[in-house]
Amino acid sequence: MTVKVTARGAERWKQGHPWIYRSDVAEEPDKTPGIVAVTDRKGKFLGQALYSPKSEIRLRLLTRGKEPIDSTWWTERIAAAARRRNGIGASAWRVVHAEGDGLPSLIIDRYGPWIVVQLLSAGLETARDDVVAGITAALAPEGILLRNDAGVRRHEGLASEVVLAFGQVPEVVEVVEEGMKYLAAPWSGQKTGAFLDQRENRLLVGQHTRAGGHALDLFTYHGSFALHLARHAKDVLAVDQSTEALARGVENARLNAIGNIEWREANAFDLLRELERRREQFDTIALDPPAFAKTKASVERAVAGYKEVNLRAMKILAPGGMLFTSSCSYHVGRDIFSAMLADAARDSGRRIQFLAATGAASDHPELLNVPETGYLKGVLLRAVV
């Protein structure tokens, strides 16, 4: 099948963005998902793309060439992405970051010998067998799990399912990250089983933790920041509202023979108010909330939420104390996030130094041409006085 696109659609591809929206599709003769040839209105060949007839994002560019897109094609692309990742000091990392690696809507994460995949478009779903064959050939895993239960599949008209595609994948996998162990849950955990995107930020926080001081990890989930804090701090208070998340945190601490973390089930907003009232102070704070802005419309409210937690965290920093703060809301861009932090700093009564801005770990590459590939922002701050 051939799909024709408008000049505006073609221009997007020229600028390195792989998506063409419904409004820029001129002719779509047969509304079945798959891999299609794409031309301009006059019939000039532009490339081959994943086609999603039910999605606003109709086309995702795979190649500008005419080569067959078979299992060998996927093998080569996946192997090339894998080669770009080296020197990662962990047993779990992202092998393919979708658009960021030129493979739109395909996520491939490695957990030791096991692979967890997300197929996030209707076009890609039709290539499932070839993709699985490509992964097998390129990565030689012991098992491949399809975590096809991500919410975005709804926009594609796809079912929500978790399917074993090859071999075996355990319920729980032990990950080693720069000498720290934690358990990931490929079948049921957040994303593909863990927050791999914060790996480098966790190490950064570890490096900046005040030795022998008090540390606080807000929104700790399975305690992955808390573990790195606990290595250096005297004690760590790790906070989450989820009982199950904290139970996993306790297991992770035990796995590393770490005994200086107190796990507290609480609403972070309430607890921050209480800590402030009690004039408690912390030398190092990690603040990694869930995405407060899920849509464009909720940005204003989200920013108010981010400001509240950041302002209160700044207030309870000990003199010279460090705050690592992050946001994974795509709709809250770097500029909005920075402006919010400046606003909080002004209100905090503290003098706050900006030490570093970070993003997702390097195995989650951001493409400048595709802003959607960047969502995680981190900032390291210090309260001078």
For residue 198, the minimal CB distance to ligand SAH (Å) is: 4
Nearer to ligand SAH, 71 or 198 (CB): 198
Nearer to ligand SAH, 121 or 325 (CB): 325
CB 70 within 8 A of CB 130: yes
3-class DSSP state of 24: helix
CB 251 within 8 A of CB 275: no
Q: Which stretch binds ligand SAH (CB under 6 A): 72-80, 101-109, 230-238, 262-270?
A: 262-270
For residue 381, the minimal CB distance to ligand SAH (Å) is: 17
Clarify whether 257 is annotated catalytic: no
Of the residues 99, 177, 283, 288, which one makes contact with ligand SAH according to CB under 6 A: 288
Site for ligand SAH in 330-349 (CB under 6 A): none
For residue 268, the minimal CB distance to ligand SAH (Å) is: 4
Tell whether residue 114 is a contact of ligand SAH (CB under 6 A).
Answer: no
Q: Which stretch binds ligand SAH (CB under 6 A): 11-19, 35-43, 233-241, 349-357?
A: 233-241
CB 188 within 8 A of CB 212: no
Tell whether residue 290 is a contact of ligand SAH (CB under 6 A).
Answer: yes
Tell whether residue 293 is a contact of ligand SAH (CB under 6 A).
Answer: no
Between CA 10 and CA 46 the distance in angstroms is: 7
Between CA 217 and CA 354 the distance in angstroms is: 20
The catalytically annotated residue of 124, 216, 271, 328 is 328
Nearer to ligand SAH, 33 or 223 (CB): 223
Tell whether residue 221 is a contact of ligand SAH (CB under 6 A).
Answer: yes
Give the contacts of 31 (CB within 8 A, at least 6 positions apart).
Answer: 53
Tell whether residue 227 is a contact of ligand SAH (CB under 6 A).
Answer: no
DSSP 366: P
Nearer to ligand SAH, 268 or 361 (CB): 268
Of the residues 245, 275, 293, 323, which one makes contact with ligand SAH according to CB under 6 A: 245
Give the contacts of 53 (CB within 8 A, at least 6 positions apart).
Answer: 28, 31, 32, 33, 122, 157
Between CA 136 and CA 35 the distance in angstroms is: 21
Tell whether residue 267 is a contact of ligand SAH (CB under 6 A).
Answer: yes
For residue 126, the minimal CB distance to ligand SAH (Å) is: 33
- Tell me phi and psi for residue 167, to 5 degrees: 60, -140
Of the residues 13, 114, 195, 324, which one makes contact with ligand SAH according to CB under 6 A: 195
Between CA 166 and CA 146 the distance in angstroms is: 9
User: Residue 378 to residues 11, 143, 160, 218: CA-CA distances in angstroms?
Assistant: 32, 33, 31, 14
Between CA 322 and CA 338 the distance in angstroms is: 17
Between CA 329 and CA 336 the distance in angstroms is: 11
For residue 245, the minimal CB distance to ligand SAH (Å) is: 4
Of the residues 19, 219, 263, 375, which one makes contact with ligand SAH according to CB under 6 A: 219
Tell whether residue 188 is a contact of ligand SAH (CB under 6 A).
Answer: no
Alpha helices in 109-167 (DSSP H): 122-126, 128-139
Q: Which stretch binds ligand SAH (CB under 6 A): 16-24, 234-242, 254-262, 358-366?
A: 234-242
Give the contacts of 183 (CB within 8 A, at least 6 positions apart).
Answer: 172, 173, 174, 175, 222, 248, 251, 252, 255
Strand partners, 325: 287, 379
Tell whether residue 268 is a contact of ligand SAH (CB under 6 A).
Answer: yes
Strand partners, 380: 324, 356
For residue 265, the minimal CB distance to ligand SAH (Å) is: 8
The torsion defined by the Cα of 325, 195, 158 and 155, in degrees rounded to 10, comes to 10
For residue 224, the minimal CB distance to ligand SAH (Å) is: 4
Of the residues 269, 299, 307, 355, which one makes contact with ligand SAH according to CB under 6 A: 269
For residue 62, the minimal CB distance to ligand SAH (Å) is: 32
Tell whether residue 240 is a contact of ligand SAH (CB under 6 A).
Answer: yes
- Binding residues (CB under 6 A) for ligand SAH: these are 195, 198, 219-222, 224-225, 239-242, 245, 267-269, 288, 290
Q: Annotated active-site positions, please?
A: 328
